[in-house]
Amino acid sequence: MFINRKSELEILARLYASERAELFVLYGRRRVGKTELLRAFCEDKPHLFFIATLSADGEQLATFSQQIWTFTHPETPAGFSFPSWDAAFRALADLPGRPIVILDEFTYLISGNKAIPSILQKAWDEHLKNTRVMLILCGSYIGMMETEVLGYQAPLYGRRTHSALLDPLDLPSAALFFPRYTAEQQFLAWAVLGGMPYYLRTFSDRKDIFANIRQHILDAQTGELFNEPRLLLMEELREPRNYFSILRAIAQGNTRLNAIAQASGVGAVNMVSRYLDLLQQMRLITRRVPATEFQPEKSKRGMYQIDDHFLRFWFRYVQPNQSSLDLGLTDAILNQRVRPDLEHFAAAAFEEASRQHIARLARQGQIPFLPERIGAWWERDVEIDVLAISHTEKQALVGECKWS
């Protein structure tokens, strides 16, 4: 089931219609729907869809070579490999028509062969940039994509014709997964799961929210999402234990750097700060500052929060109760921990949805000024939930939103 992503599909269609060589870079978190987006785009067009793995470099080259052969000789079995990645990439220039070539999980290729970006850059400059090929590089390791593909020091710097960071779905898009739910139920599903299509597909709108939470998240034996954050962090991080402690500390309400360092027990503040920087790079957490701050990166009023709704839910209800859930006390945790607290938990997501709504109104020209920042504001015991502000026009929109 592929839902929405209309603006991203429009970008891809526009690039495809250009009829010139295109090098499009698509990246974003795992489970955000990058592969599904690309499949939806190219399903009715001539394409070569290569998904890299963690297998040896020579095996990857052989698989890619065979896909190139199959593209041009669909009736003849492929049984060869190009002698090098350079030869394979150069062969793309000879593909007929307007071919789409997708290299998915591109960071796996780089992990197996650090020279891949340089080899591709040479092939692009010497053979591909004057063809009709549409080359798409797609990856899930955001930091690696930003440094090894998009970064100023990267060999491919300046070659891309377009790039996009694919964000999780917002509330209106996520709600489309649950047509039978009321608006309130749709919001609660988004508050729990966030905007990752993979997570949204696990819930059924034929069951209520709590039945879905019990079956798919809290059930230690059969819940598809029971171990999802653990597996995600173990796959992407070298020291998952320390990151676990930090994320749990934030989920418990420790939002300032010193408080996180103390609650997590990971180490000194400067060490915790480095961990937080990487979690931000992965788009798992964000550092919020009041919308009125002129230099957010230097602000001393920053507060950290878990950006991903499902990660926030998991570290609030699953990870602290892991032992009880392993013992099969699923209903007890649901009824004593989750059910009484879910409305309170959802409040942060409701504020986020409200700010996203204001941003949509601004894009549609329905706010009488051009906001430069949209966020919140706080100082001591005073907080403004929604603040859209223009310092240039000296105008602001102030709002309060409460989920109850």
* pLDDT 10s digits, 48-66: 999 999 999 999 999 999 9
**pLDDT of res. 237:** 84
Enumerate helices (H) and strands (E) in the chain, giving the number of each.
Answer: 19, 10
Look up the CATH architecture of domain 207-340.
Answer: Orthogonal Bundle (1.10)
**pLDDT of res. 240:** 87
What CA–CA distances, in Å, run from 94 to 62, 97, 99, 129? 18, 9, 10, 12
Three-state SS at 305: strand
Q: In what order do the strands lie in the sheet with 395-399?
A: 373-379, 382-390, 395-399
> Would you say the C-alpha torsion 233, 160, 102, 193 has a positive or negative sign?
positive
Cα–Cα distance for residue pair 307/287, rounded to 1 Å: 9
Read off the tokens for 180: 């039978």
DSSP string, 144-184: HIIIIISSTTSTTTTT-SEEEE-PPP-HHHHHTT-TTS-HH
Split at pLDDT 50, 70, 90, the class of 180 is: very high
**pLDDT of res. 41:** 96
Looking at every residue in the chain, the average pLDDT score rounds to: 94
**pLDDT of res. 162:** 96
What CA–CA distances, in Å, run from 150 to 37, 125, 154? 21, 16, 6
Q: pLDDT by residue (tens digit) across 65-92? A: 999 999 988 777 767 889 999 999 999 9
Read off the tokens for 59: 């095996």
Q: Which candidate, 139, 115, 119, places its Cα nearest to that of 128?
A: 119
Q: Do the Cβ atoms of 97 and 132 come closer than 8 Å?
A: yes
Helix axes 257-264, 240-251, angle to 10 degrees: 120
Look up the CATH architecture of domain 6-165.
Answer: 3-Layer(aba) Sandwich (3.40)
Count CB atoms within 10 A of the CB of residue 400. Answer: 10
Q: Which candidate, 280, 281, 285, 260, places its Cα nearest to that of 271?
A: 260
- pLDDT beyond 70 at 216: yes
Cα–Cα distance for residue pair 143/165, rounded to 1 Å: 12
Cα–Cα distance for residue pair 345/305, rounded to 1 Å: 13
Split at pLDDT 50, 70, 90, the class of 146 is: very high
**pLDDT of res. 142:** 92
Q: Do the Cβ atoms of 92 and 99 come closer than 8 Å?
A: yes
Q: How many CA atoms lie within 13 A of 347 on its CB side?
A: 10
Q: pLDDT by residue (tens digit) across 104-123? A: 999 999 999 999 999 999 99
What percentage of residues in the chain have a pLDDT greater than 90?
86
What CA–CA distances, in Å, run from 8 to 24, 103, 220, 284? 12, 18, 36, 22
Split at pLDDT 50, 70, 90, the class of 128 is: very high
- Domains of the chain, by residue range, sit at 6-165, 207-340, 351-399
- pLDDT beyond 70 at 1: no
